[in-house]
Amino acid sequence: MSRITGTGSFVPAKIIDNFDLEKKVDTSDEWITERTGIKARRTLATGQTNSDMCLEASKRALQSAGLKAKDIDLIIVATMSGDMPMPSTAAILQSKLGAKNAAAFDINAACSGFLYGLSVADKFIRTGASQKLLLIGSEVNSRFLDWKDRTTCVLFGDGAGAVVLEPAKGKRGILSTHLHTDGNMWDFICLPGGGSQLPPSSKSIRDRMHFIKMRGNETFKIAVRTLEKLALSTLKHNNVKPSELAMLIPHQANLRIIAATASRLNIPMDRVAVNLDKYGNTSSASIPIALDEVVKAGRIKDGDYVLLEAFGSGLTWASALIKW
Ligand code: ACO
């Protein structure tokens, strides 16, 4: 079994609140707050990159684990907004961090990316293939938003969260991870342009194909149904009752989705990590940022059960149960 031995996070300084967005598109603070729970989001400064945010979050996670960059043998970056299509953002981070003993690769499962990464990381450690692993979820969503599309541009933000994983010495650690995909609904949330299906062209740019598109309302309904089932099956797999959970750390897409899951599990909101009011949906970064905040605030203690769950493009959904 693997255990998280360090956490760290980074969000850019620039804040865009709902009132700023009222000036850009036909929206209102009232609509965004009521429908999503989001009040503000961060955007990365021009000239800064995804790997720069990974670097800051990683340094903080390494410090909290008491490790040096050269101790790390594997780096995994979960992202859908990497520095460039090739090489991986993880490789660029490896250089910036000076983690010369680490292999490095990216993983992309959109908003479920961190939990997909956690599952892969846990398996590397369980097999003995890695001893000290750095996993980061990091997104520069602001660069892929259509700032003329009010149905998406109000939702997303930038940020990075990192964890260090090591083999567990006792019975505390990642108890199980669960991954799911239904590719039939790939077009519910997608960024159609820029890949091999639709390489960049003046037409693809004119048609605004290099931005995130989402069928939000249909996704919402599936997310609520799916996350309840996912949370219950993850707990059942480990013989843990919802009432035994110390903390639920959900992906931060919509407060109504988070509250519906908590209510269906009968978990009071004071045992649910929420930060989308400050950061919006930071995709693969949302769970590790929230985890870092919860740890730093002393909201979880040794031996607590912590449930992580996410839903996103693919469609993908994933969970992990941790005995902290
Ligand atoms: N401001 C004002 N009005 C708006 C805005 C806005 N920013 N956006 C949409 N509207 C309007 C719509 O045009 C629509 O108007 P109409 O009734 O006149 O047609 C009305 O508001 C209702 O729109 P809906 O899309 O039905 O609103 P809904 O309550 O579903 O909220 C939202 C939309 C917030 C996107 C929600 O559906 C949601 O959160 N979906 C799930 C998102 C999610 O979980 N995604 C997965 C992760 S993302 C990833 O993986 C990258």
Neighbours of 126 (CB within 10 A): 15
Provide the token pair at 158.
Answer: 């930038």
CA-nearest residue, atom 41 of ligand 1: 220
Residue 315: C-alpha distances to residues 183, 233, 270 (Å): 6, 19, 29
Between CA 293 and CA 161 the distance in angstroms is 10
Question: What's the pLDDT at 282?
Answer: 98
Residue 65: C-alpha distances to residues 69, 97, 112, 297 (Å): 11, 15, 24, 17
Same domain, residue pair 122 and 181: no
Same domain, residue pair 113 and 238: no
Q: Which of 18, 50, 153, 251 is catalytic?
A: 251
Evaluate if pTM is beyond 0.85: yes
Active site residue 237: no
pLDDT tens, position by position, 115-170: 999 999 999 999 999 999 999 999 999 999 999 999 999 999 999 999 999 999 88
Same domain, residue pair 221 and 148: no
Total domains in the fold of the chain: 2
Cβ–ligand 1 distance for 109 under 6 Å, the answer no
Between CA 66 and CA 128 the distance in angstroms is 21
Same domain, residue pair 195 and 214: yes
Residue whose structure tokens are 């003046």: 202
Between CA 111 and CA 186 the distance in angstroms is 13
Provide the token pair at 30.
Answer: 């009232």
Ligand 1 pocket test, candidate residues 26, 30, 35, most atoms within 8 A of CB: 35
Beta-sheet strand order (sheet of 305-312): 173-181, 316-323, 305-312, 245-250
Question: What's the pLDDT at 65?
Answer: 98
Q: Which of 54, 111, 254, 275 is catalytic?
A: 111
Question: What's the pLDDT at 90?
Answer: 98
If you measure from the C-alpha of residue 248 to the centroid of ligand 1, how many angstroms do you get, rounded to a whole number? 24
Atom of ligand 1 minimally distant from the CA of 314: 50
Cβ–ligand 1 distance for 79 under 6 Å, the answer no
Ligand 1 pocket test, candidate residues 112, 151, 153, most atoms within 8 A of CB: 151
If you measure from the C-alpha of residue 215 to the centroid of ligand 1, how many angstroms do you get, rounded to a whole number? 8
Between CA 294 and CA 9 the distance in angstroms is 11
Cβ–ligand 1 distance for 254 under 6 Å, the answer yes
If you measure from the C-alpha of residue 293 to the centroid of ligand 1, how many angstroms do you get, rounded to a whole number? 27
Same domain, residue pair 135 and 247: no
Question: What's the pLDDT at 225?
Answer: 94
If you measure from the C-alpha of residue 212 to the centroid of ligand 1, how many angstroms do you get, rounded to a whole number? 13
Active site residue 281: yes
Which of residues 114, 141, 170 is at a domain's end?
170
pLDDT tens, position by position, 3-39: 999 999 999 999 999 999 999 999 999 999 999 999 9
CATH of the domain at 312: 3.40.47.10
Same domain, residue pair 34 and 105: yes
pLDDT tens, position by position, 231-267: 999 999 999 999 999 999 999 999 999 999 999 999 9
Question: What's the pLDDT at 246?
Answer: 97
Q: Give me the mean pLDDT over the 38-50 stretch.
A: 98
Same domain, residue pair 94 and 193: no
Same domain, residue pair 53 and 121: yes
Which of residues 121, 148, 170 is at a domain's end?
170
- In this structure, are residues 96 and 104 in contact, taking their beta carbons and an 8 Å threshold? no
**Which residues form the domain of 107?**
2-170
Atom of ligand 1 minimally distant from the CA of 251: 47
3-state secondary structure at position 273: coil
Same domain, residue pair 152 and 192: no
If you measure from the C-alpha of residue 216 to the centroid of ligand 1, how many angstroms do you get, rounded to a whole number? 5
Provide the token pair at 234.
Answer: 């993850």
Same domain, residue pair 292 and 189: yes
- In this structure, are residues 212 and 272 in contact, taking their beta carbons and an 8 Å threshold? no
Residue 235: C-alpha distances to residues 171, 176, 227 (Å): 17, 9, 12
- Closest CA relative to residue 277, chosen from 26, 43, 24, 42: 42
Which of residues 144, 170, 196 is at a domain's end?
170
Same domain, residue pair 50 and 90: yes
> What are the percentages of helix, strand and coil residues in the chain, rounded to 5?
40, 25, 35
Same domain, residue pair 243 and 97: no
